[in-house]
Amino acid sequence: MNPYVNFLRQTDIFYQFNETQLETVADLCEERTLETGEIVFFEGSHSDELYIIVYGVIDILVNPALVSDKPGEEHDPVTIATLRRGQSFGEIALVDQGIRSATARIAHDDTRLLIIPSEKLMTACETYPDLGYRLMLNLAADLALKIRGTSLRVREELLYGRAQK
C-alpha cells in the first residue's frame, strides 16, 4: 500500500474515497519539504498543481496594491488565510488552470506538502468517472466553504472599515 493512502483518507478533499480511489491518487503524489518564508507559488503565476499539507503551516497572502485606489503605492502582502495539516490549496488549478489568485508562503519550518499535478489528476478523473465525480463534489464543498469565509471577511472589512473612517 502506498504510504500516502492513510493520510489522504483524513483530508476533506478526498472524503468518502474508497481504497482503490485513494491508491490511485496516492500514486500521483510527490512530497516536498520547505522552510519558513519559502514561497510555494506567487499570486499571478501559472497554476498547475494541487497541494495538501502533511505537516506545517501555510499562509495565503494577497497583494492589496491590486485593488488600491492609489496606484504605485507600496503595500505589504496581507494574510487572508492560514492553513494547516490536511488542508488543501491551489484547487482552482483543477478547475480553470488560470493564474494564482494569491501567494502561498511557508509559515513553519519543515513544512511537508503533497503535490499532485493537475494534469495527472484530471486524467485519473477522466479514466475513473466515480473518482472524478467524488473529487469535484468535495472540491465544490471545499471552495464553497472558502468563499463563505472570504465573503464574511469582506463584509467585516466593509462594515468595520467604513466605521473607522
DSSP secondary structure code for residue 70 in this structure? S
Residue 108's domain comprises: 5-164
**How would residue 154 be classed by pLDDT, with cut points 50, 70 and 90?**
confident
Secondary structure of residue 77 in the 3-state scheme: coil
Can you tell me which residue has the cell 478523473?
A: 125
Q: Identify which of 27, 33, 36 has the alpha carbon closest to the alpha carbon of residue 8.
A: 27
> If you average pLDDT over residues 3-30, what whole number do you get?
95
Query: Cα separations (Å) of 55 from 32, 51, 143, 157?
Result: 11, 12, 21, 31
Spatial separation of the C-alpha atoms in residues 79 and 62, rounded to whole Å: 7
Estimate to the nearest angstrom the gap between the alpha carbon of 86 and the chain centroid: 11
C-alpha cell, 139: 472540491
Band (165; pLDDT cuts 50, 70, 90)? low
**pTM for the whole thing?**
0.85
Q: What is the pLDDT of residue 25?
A: 97
- CA quadruple 6, 7, 10, 14: dihedral sign: negative
Note the pLDDT of residue 1.
Answer: 83
CA dist list (Å): 102 to 47, 73, 133, 137, 154 = 11, 19, 27, 23, 16
pLDDT score recorded for residue 120: 94
The per-residue pLDDT for 96 is: 78
| CATH label of the domain that carries residue 98 | 2.60.120.10
Q: Does residue 30 have a pLDDT over 70?
A: yes
Q: What is the pLDDT of residues 102-131, one digit of tens each?
A: 999 999 999 999 999 999 999 999 999 999
Q: Is 117 exposed, middle or buried (0-12, 13-18, 19+ CB in 10 A)?
A: middle
The H helix count followed by the E strand count for the chain is: 5, 8
**Domain count across the chain:** 1
- CB-CB contact of 55 with 69 (8 Å): no
